[in-house]
Structure 1
Amino acid sequence: MNTTKEILIIDDDSKNIFALSAVLKARKYKCVSALSARQGLEILEANTNIGLVLMDMMMPEMDGYEAISEIRSRESIQHLPIVALTAQAMTGDKEKCIEAGADGYVSKPVNVEELTKLIQKFAQ
């Protein structure tokens, strides 16, 4: 994901979006955000400049697992790398996210260096 592509942050907590956006923008990444999985899916369908999705896994209505499944089922966006962000950091949670279709996993509170390495890994 090069710096001309945008990172979509999907999280139901506006404070998390604000903090992540600030950190990523300081590192010269462009960010857009959604406060729900449904809103995130709408943005993904409308914005072809998204290069990476940061997905909160625990959201009301549609959680991150359902949203990842939906993204992977849509031909136009199924190729996008998705990094799961979750406060669930128990044994097996990372594997569960990867099995659901996420390409990477970062537990909350987010380790910025770890997240940056994952973003760079998906740079294209």
Structure 2
Amino acid sequence: MWDTPRQHERIPVSLGIVLESSSGKRDARISDLSLGGCFVDSIAHVSVGEIMVFQVRLPMGLWVQLYGEIVYCAPSFGFGLRFTNLAGEEQILLEQVVLAHGGKTSPFLDSVVEGQTKTPAQISQYVRRVLIADDDPTTRHLTTAIVQREGYAVVAAKDGQEAHDILQSDAHYVATIFDMVMPHMQGLELVRYMKTEERLQHIPVGIMTAEQDPKLWRDSFAAGAGIFLPKPFTPAQMSYMLKVLISQSQT
């Protein structure tokens, strides 16, 4: 059994990676993951204590560079790594991977799990709040975690219709972030709805999407969106988008 800190739950995964070492690059796969480390299926010759650099492709489409110290070797099978020098953004992304595969994350992100995100009635209107709508749970959880890290309370909707219903009775948001393509009501429809309602017109809107159609981008801006973020995005890019939206709300 490979050695990782016991406070981290290990879960089975299947993530493609590219290992980098003095002998060059090689493809491999992570088959066991926790917030503290991972097990890599590989026939590479490695030694305990060696520092490994690798690129891992996360489910949301991002490639992230990680560092790990080899703590266990199983010749012809693979080796266990303990993550080292994790930045805040990398920690958030790893937590989302663990969460997406059914594992438990930190107490901070446990509050973001489906069904535990606060409703508008549970958050005072005097707290700085951001409304998020995305039908993909992983993206919704990741966006929520990033926005909360920036110091804002989050109300999260699972689709456009739910966001619309929330906005009908609650206009106390410093910003809104919508996915473009959602069931029941598209992000673009939400933007148009907000800009026709006087009580909502002042709230900045950000749109995120994996769609590459330039017409959607133009239509979003024409409808009143303030910024557009392509998917997949990094935590730094989402943080920047949020800062732009907040600056718009203060003008």
Match of 2:27 in 1: none
**Larger Rg over CA atoms:** 2
Q: Distance in 1 between matches of 2:163 and 2:136?
A: 13
How many residues are matched? 121
Q: Distance in 1 between matches of 2:169 and 2:161?
A: 13
Task: Check the 8 A contact 1:45/1:76 in 2, yes or no.
Answer: no
Provide the alpha-carbon RMSD of the alignment.
1.8
Note the 1:20-39 alignment, pairs <5 A: 20-39=143-162
1:45 aligns with 2:168: yes
Identify the structure with the greater helix proportion: 1
Match of 2:236 in 1: 113
Candidates 48, 56, 67, aligned match of 2:179: 56
Give, in angstroms, the shift of residue 91 of structure 1: 4.1
Residues 100 and 111 of structure 1, relative CA distance in 2, 3 Å threshold: farther
Note the 1:1-124 alignment, pairs <5 A: 4-123=127-246, 124=250
Unaligned runs of 5+ in 2: 1-126
In percent, how many aligned pairs have the same letter? 25
Relative contact order (alpha carbons < 8 A, sep ≥ 6): 1 or 2 greater? Answer: 1
Unaligned runs of 5+ in 1: none
Identify the structure with the greater strand proportion: 2
Q: Distance in 2 between matches of 1:122 and 1:90?
A: 23
TM-score by length of 2: 0.44
Q: Distance in 2 between matches of 1:120 and 1:101?
A: 17
TM-score by length of 1: 0.84
| 1:11-53 Cα deviation digits (max 9, x unpaired) | 1122211111112222322211111222112222333431111
Runs (4+) off by over 6 Å: none
Task: Check the 8 A contact 1:44/1:50 in 2, yes or no.
Answer: no
Task: Check the 8 A contact 2:134/2:140 in 1, yes or no.
Answer: yes
Look up the equivalent residue of 2:185 and give its one-letter code: M
